[in-house]
Chain A
Amino acid sequence: MENPLLPVNLEIEDTKDMSSYLKYLRLKPSSGDFRLNNNNLVFNPGQFAMFGLWGYGESPFGIASSPFETKFMHIVVGRIGNVTGAIHKLKKGQKITYRGPYGNGFPIDFFQGKDLVLVAGGFGIAPIVSLIEYVIAKRKKFKKVYLLYGVETPGDILFKDNFNYWRKSIEVILTVNKPTADWKGAVGLVSKLTKKIKINPGNCAAAMCGSQSMEEALENILRPLGISDRRIFVSVDRKMNCAIGKCQHCTTGDKYVCMEGPIFNYDQIQGNWD
């Protein structure tokens, strides 16, 4: 019997501060490559994994790199607690523990042949990055693809280095809540932005991640575009401990976010009491 709680070691190949409290890590297996799943991917875009340190514990993170990449994984770690604080102190060459990937991921088969609107708020961009990479690798299978990325200030924009490469394949729309004097892009997740998005509401889907701004995006943009709640897929954030459907920390209503999520269509979780 395999022990699902036993993590393996990954080595930090590269690390960089993305902002005062965000750190980017590039992780590689201690030996060999990452294993492929039934879809021939290292993980399904939108899945999460438990990363941690012995002596501190484990935390869930969305994986922010291409799911085709077997040599490394990217994660973005916000310094908000005990585990993440310890991860922030790590340097290149040091080890981090990994188990997963867990959960369902975005419905990539359902997305094929459709227009896509990807909505990311703040550092909720992480799982969306894996989806963008998947879409770009299989670009012909999708119709129009938009990334709508909202952050607090221009300084909070992550993955800037990727934009030129992304823009060759998809439309990237940036918006900030608090613009600086030199900001030329959009301000807020406002209904005006719908004018920049030309999709066929009858044949489209949306993917979202990022807690604070998502209601706004839904009310001001996705619903006015005519995308039905059933076609809007949201990455749900909950406390995770075991990630194997036992410990009960991640439940919302009758759903286990770690097993049945973290991606739900908005219909499924709308109105859940917790």
Chain B
Amino acid sequence: MAKVISKFDFPKLIDQLKKNYDIFAPQSKDGEVIFDSVTDATRVVLDYETTVLPPKIYFLPPEEELFKVTNGKVREIRIEKQFIVFGLNLKDLSAIVQLDQIMDKEPGDFFYRKRRDMSTLIAVSDVEVGVPPGGDLILEKISDSNFRAIATTEKGRKILNLDLFQEKKIEAKAKSKKSLSKLDEMLLDSELLSQAVEWSRENYSQIWEKLGKLCIGCGICTYVCPLCYCTTGEDKISFNKSICSRCRKWDACTLPGFAQIGGGHNFRPTQKERYFNWFYHKFVRAYKEFGQAQCVACGRCQKYCPAGIDIEKVLEEILIEFKKANSKREF
């Protein structure tokens, strides 16, 4: 027996949930799919490849107010209402699981944690889920119109109590998983990627020379990445100086001033170094810190890079050269 919901009931489900939660879900806009607040539940899109910005925008927003100081009195800013991110795909879901681990590492990030505590994650998958990567509720497509509900937390089980979910005996099975992309396959061996990227800085530097010239330092790859989380603080003051907002905004390690200190010295003065650092963080520093590359192969950075850089191809090239240079070692 399992809890099952018909896809025709999704709008009803969203409308019922809206009574107690703010709902954010993928919707079409100007030819792209984006996460947005739901006003009309029938407009929610579920068969999409990827949204423009990843769902991290709800936990680490592009710009967020942390503290408000009014005439010397400091107030921490917190969101007041529970919310649901509906219609996540499994890649974005596993990115959030990884981001939780990053932001909760001691000393944990207070503001991220508060937002996560207020949120419920509902993922939708059109292929079999296997071991759920995380989240609160996953809706797995088992036939053209029916979805099996897999609750993984108390928050998720609470939603399953709604009448729209019916207890049924199911024979149908979800479609088996899509075949892995090359990048997915490479990510299975984070250790090898870490060694190869580290090796490439000195031993295959021509690729970084080339990419340093190609990269225009716009930062888009980091903004669309579900696992990039650099920020910078910024204080804003009202005209009469009585109110101060301490905000933090997304930053990007590929931007020129990222490692520049007061007085002007820049520890990564060239685009080559900054672009390498983006890879170094994702595949080397991240592996050393958390044992896993910070990439889920969502494809956004490749899709939105104005210079057309494709990280799958870059990593492939580095791995080929690394294996060639180390042909006597077994991997």
Contacts and interface: CB of A to CB of B under 8 A. Distances in A.
Interface in A34-57: 54-57
Nearest to B229: A246
Interface residues of A, number: 34
B285 A254 contact: yes
B325 interface: no
B281 A248 contact: yes
B76 interface: yes
Interface in A127-150: none
Contacts of B277: 251, 274
Interface stretch (A174-182, A184-192, A223-231, A237-245): A237-245
A248 B201 CA distance: 20
A253 B194 CA distance: 13
Given A5-B66, A246-B103, A273-B273, A239 B261 contact: yes
Nearest to A84: B262
A3 to B, nearest CB: 4
Interface string B297-321: 0000000000000000000000000
Contact of A252 (B107, B262, B267, B276): B267
Given A248-B281, A251-B281, A3 B76 contact: yes
Interface string A45-72: 0000000001111110000000000000
B110 A251 contact: no
Nearest to B286: A254
A78 B244 CA distance: 24
A80 to B, nearest CB: 4
Interface in B255-274: 258-263, 265, 267-268, 273
B259 A1 contact: no
A260 B204 CA distance: 29
Contacts of A84: 262
Interface in B188-246: 201, 229-235, 237, 241, 244, 246
A242 B246 contact: no
A1 B113 contact: yes
B291 interface: no
B108 interface: yes
B235 A246 contact: no
17 contacts: A1-B113, A5-B67, A55-B244, A57-B234, A59-B262, A238-B261, A239-B258, A242-B231, A244-B109, A245-B105, A246-B103, A251-B285, A252-B267, A273-B201, A274-B259, A274-B267, A274-B277
Q: Which 6 A-B pairs have the closest CB atoms?
A: A3-B110, A81-B262, A80-B262, A54-B244, A55-B244, A55-B237
Interface of A: 1-6, 54-59, 78, 80-81, 84, 211, 237-239, 241-242, 244-249, 251-254, 273-274
